[in-house]
Structure 1
Amino acid sequence: MTDTPTYGFDTLQIHAGARPDPATGARNTPIYQSTAYVFRDADHAAALFNLQEVGYIYSRLTNPTVAVLQERIATLEGGAGAVCCSSGHAAQIMALFPIMSPGKNVVVSNRLYGGTITQFSQTIKRFGWEAKFVDMDDLDAVKAAIDDNTRAVFGEAIANPGGYIMDVRAIADIADAAGLPLIIDNTTATPYLCRPIEHGATLVVHSTTKYLTGNGSVTGGCVVDSGKFDWTASDKFPSLSEPEQAYHGLKFAETFGPLAYTFHGIAIGLRDLGMTMNPQAAHYTLMGIETLSLRMDRHVENATKIAKWLEADDRIEYVTYAGLESSPYFERIKDVCPRGASSLFTFAVKGGYDACIKLVDALEIFSHVANLGDARSLIIHSASTTHRQLTAEQQEAAGAGPGVVRVSIGLEDADDLIADLDQALSKAVS
């Protein structure tokens, strides 16, 4: 399907990147469970290793099943190319790897998933990188945080756990003025609800584990490149603009143009970091994406109904769902996520920490798990789990205070979910 702009989202989520298997005619994308691939001859092998020809060498780098998934996600996001990897956390490191170096920093939203905050505040220090956390709603603070050593700006389109909506265009304008790429985590929104590249993002990352797969069966990650950033406009990104010694002086930006970042992610990132997605995981995610629009519409419908019910309940202090008219992000979502605010949000329970623990333990339909974006409705008390390594101040900034629970509303009957919350709240709050 080469003329992709003529097709709608529902068609592309089923067909983009996929073709009948040339050997068997199989209509579903096969799981190519192979480590290596036979070369036609010695010249073919040399051309592949020199990046003079595109093909399959070794499944740490490229795999036919994974390649279909990469093309499909890139198409849905409106990107030039994509690289899939083993998890969402792997995707974040993969996204930064071509553009960072020791002594450099990335300006990061302080409203992020707790594991991401830990990865950025602690783990990346081992690479000699630094993360500078700011409130992305404070545009002046974002501008002030950028300095000569900044190499990227990073945030979430819909923040986990609070469901806050980023003004992607405003942050993109700041990044553009500084000559920096904007990286947007689009996991919670998916390309059905938000297409960050259309709002100025340079790169988009996903935990494909979540809504894209949609059934809690496999982990995976993806980095999508818009293909629109000029990596040669300054000397800030030598990995892409300067000669690469491992490939005899090849310059990725000069050789591959809009696909420079994608090829670097495969030829350098996957080659050396080895954060490879396995073909079976790619297969499950491809099947999940085929129903993405249908699922996201139901997620939004259920989440809106349940958030309204919670907001009206006197046992609840507040609800953060951006789809509520009371939300400070209600107007913004019409531009950033016109099809809805996804199904991830938090609510504060009267009674604080202890009431939250009782609530989680009393629920029957909701599953208490550290995941989101499942067909099943999920709940977690972030302060005691996903965000417990953070300071109290960091927890509050991330919207994961001790009296708050996070929910990921699934595809069940909304009235059944409300009844489950009602009975659990009765036990949790007296």
Structure 2
Amino acid sequence: MSDGPTYGFDTLQIHAGARPDPATGARQTPIYQTTAYVFRDADHAAALFNLQEVGFIYSRLTNPTVAVLQERIATLEGGVGAVCCSSGHAAQIMALFPLMGPGCNVVSSTRLYGGTVTQFSQTIKRFGWSAKFVDTDDLDAVKGAIDENTRAIFCESVANPGGYVTDIRAMADIADAAGIPLIVDNTSATPYLCRPIEQGATLVVHSTTKYLTGNGTVTGGCIVDSGKFDWSANDKFPSLSQPEQAYHGLKFHETFGPLAFTFHGIAIGLRDLGMTMNPQAAHYTLMGVETLSLRMERHVENAQKIAAWLESDDRVDYVTYAGLPSSPYYDRVKAHYKKGAGALFTFAIKGGYDACVKLVNSLEIFSHVANLGDARSLIIHSASTTHRQLTPEQQEAAGAGPGVVRVSIGIEDADDLIADLDQALSKATA
């Protein structure tokens, strides 16, 4: 889209980054199913490989279909650029990759998707990195965890599984004072409900598998760069501020300014880690993003109604939905998440672990799957699945105790979903 008018979210989710195909006039973004691209001549090829010219070289690095998705997500998030990759987990590693080094650590929220806790507590040790897990509602604990080797703070805007809502502005203030970036996983909220960059985040990551695609068809991830961080303010980020030997001493921040992180993510991250998003996955996600606002409105409407019903049911111990007045995050939602608290939350059933197992086995409309953000309503017993590798203490800290189930409320008829939960609860607590 051309520079000029400031377009609304609903317009941008359809048009941002997309132009009619110059070869055919195709209105929908084509799937450029190709591995490589013909150079105009030898000088053109050399300029591309030297990062002196932007263009397409090889689809591990850049692809026209993926490029449209990158621009669209960056636009919706209010960032200067984005890098798409193969999954949300890949996005997390790629976000940390330019920042970290052996001996460095990231301060991370305890309220995270179980796979992220495992990735941060176990897998990144193989790179010589480490994570310090803290309750991000305890701002003093967050500040106290930061040391001279800390390179980032990581949190989720609406945390999986409990739907807890993070005070992003407070996290950003702490990160700014320490001279480090704040990375926010915005998968559960999406840019329709929350734009972390506007609240001070440096980088935003997504599992595009979830609400952005919205139909459970393909996996993908994305890192959005705010373009606002000064990577050269200190010596903590040499990958971005110091000469890069693979590009004849080029300094990414000096050369690319606000787009330094984005260019590094493509030229180094995708080049060497190879966590590439395929063009067909990008195409499916582009089609999903076109209806993001419409779906999120219905997701939130249904979640609000169902959470209120569950909270009033004697068979349920508690509900964690932040859109309920009983939630400790209710005021935060009203202040910073004005379009709603999302559609992801947990509830505890009287009867504990065994009752949870009976519940998921008794549902008919809800699907028992390890995913969220689908148009369909989904449920999972986190303690026996997504958070199974964690200790009991870690499960409780993440909001995934043995008597808790997580629901991702879809866009079906809310009354049908309530009826399904009602009959399943009857069986589970009989």
TM-score by length of 2: 1.00
The answer for unaligned runs of 5 or more in structure 1 is: none
Letter in 2 for 1:75: T
* Shift of residue 2, structure 1, vs aligned partner: 3.2
Alignment of 1:274-293 (within 5 A): 274-293=274-293
TM superposition shift of 1:334: 1.7
Tell me, yes or no, if the aligned pair for 1:105 and 1:152 is still in contact at 8 Å. Answer: yes
Aligned to 1:89: 89
Deviation at 1:5, TM superposition (A): 6.3
Question: Following the alignment from structure 1 to structure 2, what is the Cα–Cα distance between the partners of residues 359 and 418?
Answer: 13
8 Å CA contact retained: 1:115, 1:386 = yes
User: Partner amino acid for 1:390?
Assistant: L
Q: Distance in 2 between matches of 1:27 and 1:15?
A: 10
Q: Within 5 A, what are the aligned runs for 1:331-342?
A: 331-342=331-342
Structure 2 match to 1:8: 8
1:46 paired with 2:50, answer no
Counterpart CA distance in 2 for 1:64 and 1:307 is 42
Contact 1:168 1:336 (C-alpha < 8 Å) held by counterparts: no
Per the TM alignment, residue 4 of structure 1 is displaced from its structure 2 partner at its CA by: 6.7
CA distance in 2: counterparts of 1:238 and 1:46, whole angstroms: 25
1:235 aligns with 2:235: yes
2:362 aligns to what? Answer: 362
Q: Distance in 2 between matches of 1:80 and 1:43?
A: 28
Q: How far 1:3 moved relative to its partner?
A: 2.5
Equivalences for 1:114-263 in 2 at 5 Å?
114-263=114-263
Task: Give CA deviations for 1:109-161 in whole Å, capped at 9, x if unaligned.
Answer: 00000000000000000000000000000000000000000000000000000
SS in 1 for 2:151: strand
Partners in 1 of 2:159 and 2:35 — Cα distance? 37
The residue number in structure 1 matching 2:328 is: 328
Give the letter aligned to residue 112 of structure 1: L
CA offset digits 1:347-403 (Å, max 9, x no partner): 000000000000000000000000000000000000000000000000000000000
Percent identity over paired residues: 86
| Structure 1 residue 338: Cα displacement | 1.0
**C-alpha distance in 1 between matches for 2:411 and 2:76:** 22
Aligned Cα RMSD in Å? 0.6
Aligned residues: 430
Q: TM-score, normalised by structure 1?
A: 1.00
2:26 corresponds to 1:26 = yes
Letter in 1 for 2:327: S
Question: What's 2:382 paired with?
Answer: 382
Partner of 1:398: 398
* Matching residue's letter, 1:46: A
CA distance in 1, matches of 2:333, 2:231: 31
Per-residue CA deviation, residues 178-221 of structure 1 (Å, 9 max, x unaligned), is 00000000000000000000000000000000000000000000
Retained in 2: the 8 A contact 1:105–1:131?
yes
4+ residue segments displaced more than 4 Å: none
- Where 2:54 maps in the other structure, the secondary structure is coil
Q: Which moved more, 1:216-225 or 1:330-339?
A: 330-339
**Whole-Å separation in 2 of the counterparts to 1:342 and 1:295:** 11
Find the residue that maps to 1:317 and give its secondary structure.
strand
Q: Which amino acid aligns with 1:78?
A: G
Code of the aligned partner of 1:191: P
